[in-house]
Amino acid sequence: MAACQPKVLSHGDPRRFEHAGAAGGFIDRNGYPFCRGRIFEVTEEDSGQYDDEREVFWATGACLLVRAADFHAVGGFDVSLFAHMEEIDLCWRLRRRGRRIGYTSRATVYHVGGGALGYGSPRKTFLNFRNSLIVLTRNLHEGWLPARLLRRLVLDFFAGAKFLLEGHGRHTWQVVLAHWSFFGRLPWVLRERRRLLHEEHAPDLTGMYHRSVAYDRFILGWKRFGDLDVKAFERPF
């Protein structure tokens, strides 16, 4: 086990899981992160349903324990990601070396949330969309990238349209800027991708969800981790 996280509950409402990490992180085929206890904006009430110890795809940077040797072996956090998605990127790079990521409910932290940037901040929207694209592009399996990146761009278009229809035009603009920034950095991202491919050793994608969690949430109306198709996870639990 290279890294692990505790149960993360909301400081403001200790009965509920907190957005940043909840009970362990996962990622769908298009690079959208989600957690046990939190899918997009919906957080679950803690009723002991995740009182266990198990492997996850990524562990939250809100409270993260990492073996120093593993942390330094993969180069630590990518400082260019600045406070959003950097722990997902780190965990994915660890997984590419065959290392495991875990969750335990034997420890609990109460997280304030939105400390670096408020949840309603347009800047947060920019960083979430841009950094997610960077992390997906440089880490995704070679044969999957073109189709999944194209699908992701379409989904982000709908996300921007949703912001606009809800009266959050500034967030729509940040989605546009995020893609502009991503494509401006694409040559560097692809160089990083090639470097990481050379360093890859026995990659382990346990916990990747081979469906669209956006479709499951916004079209099918699935709000809880338990609603998801367990057979769609890499190495189903």
Segment 166-177, tens digit of pLDDT:
999 999 999 999
Segment 34-53, tens digit of pLDDT:
999 999 999 999 999 999 99
Taking Cα atoms as reference points, which of 162, 160, 173 lies closest to residue 122?
Answer: 173
Q: How many domains does the chain have?
A: 1
Domain span at 37: 3-232
Whether 99 is in a domain gets the answer yes
237 pLDDT exceeds 80? no
202 pLDDT exceeds 80? no
119 pLDDT exceeds 60? yes
Whether 237 is in a domain gets the answer no
Segment 67-112, tens digit of pLDDT:
999 999 999 999 889 878 999 999 999 999 999 999 999 999 999 9
141 pLDDT exceeds 60? yes
Residue 32 near residue 214, CB atoms below 8 Å? yes
Instruction: Give 166-222 as a DSSP string.
Output: TT-HHHHHHHHHHHHHHHHHHHHHHHHHHHHHHH--S---TTEESS-HHHHHHTS--
pTM beyond 0.85, yes or no: yes
| C-alpha distance from residue 230 to each of 67, 204, 210, 226 (Å) | 29, 18, 10, 8
